[in-house]
Amino acid sequence: MKKDEPPLDFPDTLEGFEYAFNEKGQLRHIKTGEPFVFNYREDLHRWNQKRYEALGEIITKYVYELLEKDCNLKKISIPVDATESEPKSFIFMSEDALTNPQKLMVLIHGSGVVRAGQWARRLIINEDLDSGTQIPFIKRAMDEGYGVIVLNPNENYIEVEKPKIHVQSSSDSSDEPAEKRERKDKVSKETKKRRDFYEKYRNPQREKEMMQLYIRENGSPEEHAVYVWDHFIAQSAAENVFFVAHSYGGLAFVELMIQREADVKSKVTAVALTDSVHNVWHQEAGKTIREWMRENCCNWVSSSEPLDTSVESMLPDCPRVSAGTDRHELTSWKSFPSIFKFFTEASEAKTSSLKPTLTRRSHRIKHEDL
């Protein structure tokens, strides 16, 4: 016999769930001190999954709060020229993101349920805030004098309830005899009754039908990356821009390069990818982009080899090194110290070669002007 499912009615605060983050940033039960338990009710996988998703939504809001209160980032609404009524998204930026003359760090997470400030929801819930969020990157970047921009590439639409459309039955407007019309209506009602009964059995708590309203110029991670580049990163004063892009974020960065190649090359000093899923062939990245990536990017991939060990690549793009873990979602956290070292070295290398580069560039510009 099918077990009755309890209501899909969950708390909307961590306290309501009886969980809190301890001083180590681990999620623990307030009374028992135990980690989060997924199988709260046995044999009710769907209910447990919905409970986990409800907690995930609270975690997303909690991380947003940490970005503002703990990291002192500002929440910036996009599109920048949005009307009052249209769907909007947002990104986070440090006070000096656009004015810092030296360095700017841009963080892009992967695909799925994660939102700005997160690498992996699973890590936040089951491990800790340090490994699952971008907060350690943000804090260290700010300590080292970087401005910071945190992208929100999965916030592509808002969901609203579908309006109920009354479909006029064909019998309403026909010239059919009343008796025939009544018989048709009766059959139609019985069919609906049977369908509703089946639906109630199959899905005891039918959720509201929702529709998606896409956010202008931010309807996909790739669109979002280009939009934030055009309206924020390209406008920033920073001489050196650095990207950290995880998983699908790497693909979004390569797409940005394809669309804004000259701009990216002139402004970006180095790119740290973590288990990036980009593919230079499928994305049709040209030869000049592949050459630039070989010189300026590094991909820390999941591997059982020690951190920074060179890993062979099948594709002719950027160097691949081990992230020191074979778990995809942990690659950003495990390569954290190496990424900052990589950025420092790239910055120093650029500074030491700046004068001859500038001379060559100015000579080339003069030549082109002629």
Q: Is residue 196 part of a domain?
A: no
Inter-residue contact 311 to 320 (CB < 8 Å) = yes
pLDDT over threshold 50, residue 1: no
Q: Is residue 366 part of a domain?
A: no
Residues 6 or more apart whose CB falls under 8 angstroms from that of 15 comprise 30
Grade residue 358 by pLDDT with cuts at 50, 70 and 90: very low
Task: Kindly state the tokens that stand for 68.
Answer: 């503002």
Grade residue 316 by pLDDT with cuts at 50, 70 and 90: confident
CA distance linking residue 178 with residue 172, whole number of Å = 10
List own/partner pairs for 137-142 with CB under 8 A and 24 or more apart: 137/105, 137/107, 137/244, 137/332, 137/336, 137/339, 138/67, 138/71, 138/73, 138/94, 138/107, 139/71, 140/336, 140/340, 141/105, 142/71, 142/72, 142/94
Q: Is residue 342 part of a domain?
A: yes
Grade residue 315 by pLDDT with cuts at 50, 70 and 90: confident
Report pLDDT for 186: 64
Average of pLDDT values for 217-240? 97
Q: Residue 144 sits in a domain of what CATH number?
A: 3.40.50
Q: Is residue 35 part of a domain?
A: no
Q: Is residue 8 part of a domain?
A: no
Question: What total of structural domains would you count in the chain?
Answer: 1
| pLDDT single digits (tens) 203-216 | 555 567 889 999 99
Report pLDDT for 43: 78
* Average per-residue pLDDT for the chain: 88
Inter-residue contact 221 to 83 (CB < 8 Å) = no
Q: Is residue 222 part of a domain?
A: yes
In this predicted structure, which of 83-92, 192-201, 299-308, 344-353 has the lowest mean pLDDT? Answer: 192-201
pLDDT over threshold 50, residue 170: no
Q: Which residues are catalytic?
A: 247
pLDDT over threshold 50, residue 366: no
Domain membership of residue 312 as a residue range: 73-159+214-353
CA distance linking residue 138 with residue 116, whole number of Å = 12
Q: Is residue 36 part of a domain?
A: no
| pLDDT single digits (tens) 289-312 | 999 999 999 999 999 999 999 999
Looking at residue 39, its amino acid is N
Q: Is residue 362 part of a domain?
A: no
Report pLDDT for 286: 93
Inter-residue contact 4 to 200 (CB < 8 Å) = no
